[in-house]
Structure 1
Amino acid sequence: MTLQRLFDHPDFMAIYKPIGVGMHSESGELGLQLLAEQQFGLKLWMVHRLDKVTSGVLLFAKHAEAAAQLSNLFSEQSIQKTYLALSQSKPKRKQGRIKGDMAAARNGSYKLLKTQSNPAITDFFSLSIELGLRLFVCRPKTGKTHQIRVALKSEGAAILGDQRYGQPSDRTYLHAWRIAFQYQKEAFQIEAAPLEGEWFNKNTFIDKLKQLENGNYWPEHWLKNQN
């Protein structure tokens, strides 16, 4: 497997995480961190994670000091993360905020609760791509396990291909599209379109993504809070 480097900085690098690769080594398969270290020939520090079924932009630090600074940015919610997801179900709402505590359920799954002790928070809006297919643009404000997958299921729109929370397909259609942050007073925005999946390669999706990249369709309340 050859990993794609998206951005390189003296203190960190961003790669494209493909689907089907875990962050840690398991069952004889190398995790993404070790694969990246072997390919790029340097020691890397993990500062955030993506689910095995999720593709997209992933940051690694190149030394311990950068790892501490970037980890702090993530923990302080100072790094803006934007995800793309597809669903074949119509949501209860076209846009809004999903907020609630998450609790472990059966067989490694999670569920969203009505309580607000330490809630997962996800802002989203959605757009129709074609009949029976909807695009969700999500910004998680917190970093809980399976957060977006559980949040969209709670809206009645489980992610296409999510075998844990939705219906099977060729992949789980959740992609970490963009991250934006300030590091040592310099602004960075790193973005990567999804590469894998027949539905992500449909012209209707590609056209909609281009319109998003050009600034169309973004709700006013999101545009006011770009940082």
Structure 2
Amino acid sequence: MLDIISEHPDFYVIYKPANVSVHQTSEQSGIIPLVQNHLGNPAPLWLVHRLDQVTSGLLVLARSQQAAQTFGHLFSSQQITKYYLAITAGRPKKKQGKIIGDMTKTRNGSWKLLHTKHNPAITEFVSTSLPPGKRLCLIHPLTGKTHQIRVALKSLGAPIVGDLRYYPKNLEPADRCYLHAYVLQFNWQGQQLRFCAPPQEGQCFLASPCQEVLARYSTPWTFF
């Protein structure tokens, strides 16, 4: 399901499928060779940000080193706005608001949220009921910590469905981790750009109850 959402002289915006790694691993070649093969063009590309392997959705690849440096500045200075979708299990401690706290690494590469706020991860979200017994969340991360969204939602007692790292093993299995990078917006050379890509995979995302709610979330920037 790799797809080119937008082709700009300085960058590509692509749809990364779930369970595709952005970096080379022992099992996968990484996203850049896949895109080059998809385009039939071996020209160099630069990865300017990342998505977790389990996360689907929008990813930017720069087409020059200069563009990559510009994107590096935009991301590090939080000038790129991102919105995500997630389906969670359980009833969250609150249905909307901010989740704020420092994050610390635990065993096996996982993270957890702390009550302290020295250098906190900050996540805004709204959610709505998604029968039977789940919630669809629209998420606006204000910082870019590793596993931030996955850890934030787990801290509310509502882990993301199918997240094998943070989803309790006694809950029902799922066909994927239900986290999706939905919208990117930023200013590029004086032009305000916005890219939106609904989920293309996952039974729960594509089912009618979720599609009906997504119709309301099609302009996520109006919710925050």
- Tell me, yes or no, whether TM beats 0.5: yes
The answer as to 2:22 corresponding to 1:23 is yes
Please name the residue that 1:64 is paired with: 65
The answer as to 2:197 corresponding to 1:192 is yes
Alignment-mate amino acid for residue 66 of structure 1: A
The answer as to 2:192 corresponding to 1:173 is no
The answer as to 2:211 corresponding to 1:203 is no
- Structure 2 distance, partners of 1:15, 1:153, is 28
Alignment-mate amino acid for residue 12 of structure 1: F
8 Å contact from structure 1 (residues 81, 179) kept in 2: yes
- Structure 2 distance, partners of 1:56, 1:218, is 20
Secondary structure of the equivalent of 2:176? Answer: coil
Alignment-mate amino acid for residue 58 of structure 2: V
- Structure 1 distance, partners of 2:222, 2:134, is 19
Secondary structure of the equivalent of 1:78? Answer: coil
Cα deviation for residue 190 of structure 1 reads 0.5
Runs of 5+ in structure 2 lacking a partner? none
Cα deviation for residue 124 of structure 1 reads 0.6
Q: Deviations over 1:119-177 (max 9, x none)?
A: 11111111112231211111111111111000000011100111111143111000000
Secondary structure of the equivalent of 1:21? Answer: coil
Alignment-mate amino acid for residue 87 of structure 1: T
The answer as to 2:44 corresponding to 1:34 is no
Using structure 1 for the length normalisation, give the TM-score.
Answer: 0.92
Task: Determine what percentage of the aligned residue pairs are the same residue.
Answer: 47
Alignment-mate amino acid for residue 154 of structure 1: S
Using structure 2 for the length normalisation, give the TM-score.
Answer: 0.93
- Structure 2 distance, partners of 1:217, 1:117, is 28
- Structure 2 distance, partners of 1:69, 1:216, is 25
8 Å contact from structure 1 (residues 160, 172) kept in 2: yes
Alignment of 1:129-168 (within 5 A): 129-166=130-167, 167=171, 168=173
Please name the residue that 1:11 is paired with: 10
Secondary structure of the equivalent of 1:91? Answer: coil
Shift in CA distance, 217/116, structure 1 to aligned 2, threshold 3 Å: closer
Q: Deviations over 1:4-55 (max 9, x none)?
A: 1000100011000001111111114210122112332121111110000000
8 Å contact from structure 1 (residues 211, 217) kept in 2: no
Alignment-mate amino acid for residue 22 of structure 2: M
Alignment-mate amino acid for residue 210 of structure 1: A
8 Å contact from structure 1 (residues 150, 165) kept in 2: yes
Which consecutive aligned stretches of 4+ in structure 1 deviate over 3 angstroms post-superposition?
A: 215-219
- Structure 1 distance, partners of 2:200, 2:165, is 22
Q: CA RMSD in A?
A: 1.6
Runs of 5+ in structure 1 lacking a partner? 223-227
Alignment of 1:44-59 (within 5 A): 44-59=45-60
Alignment-mate amino acid for residue 179 of structure 1: L
Alignment-mate amino acid for residue 174 of structure 2: S
Matched length: 218
- Structure 1 distance, partners of 2:85, 2:151, is 14
Alignment-mate amino acid for residue 187 of structure 1: Q
Cα deviation for residue 186 of structure 1 reads 0.3
